[in-house]
Amino acid sequence: MFDRENKEMWIVLNYQGGGASGSYLMSREDDGDSDGELRIVRAEDIVKYRLVDFLEEADEYQS
């Protein structure tokens, strides 16, 4: 996911539903020191991000 406001790339790790709204656990994709930084984003705020790509299987990218 691309954060349009801050010009940052993020990977969605998990979705947790709850009540009227859920939240996404995301990890920053960066070449610098902030790589791997975690963020929780409310579902209603996900519209600020642009979908860039889907990862099919984690195993494909680990080999």
Q: Give tens-digit pLDDT for 38-53.
A: 999 998 888 889 988 7
Host domain of residue 39? 2-49
pLDDT digits (tens, 9 = 90+) for 9-18: 999 999 998 7
Return d(Cα 51, Cα 3) in angstroms, integer: 9
- Name 2's bridge partners: 9, 50
- 60 within a domain of the structure (yes/no): no
Q: What is the pTM of this model?
A: 0.71
> Is position 36 within any domain?
yes
**What is d(CA 44, CA 63) in angstroms, rounded to the nearest whole number?**
35
State how far the alpha carbon of 51 is from the alpha carbons of 18, 20, 33, in Å: 23, 23, 24
Cβ neighbours around 16 below 10 Å, total? 10
Give the model's confidence band at 60: pLDDT under 50 very low, under 70 low, under 90 confident, else very high.
Answer: low
**Is 62 among the domain residues?**
no
**Number of domains composing the chain:** 1
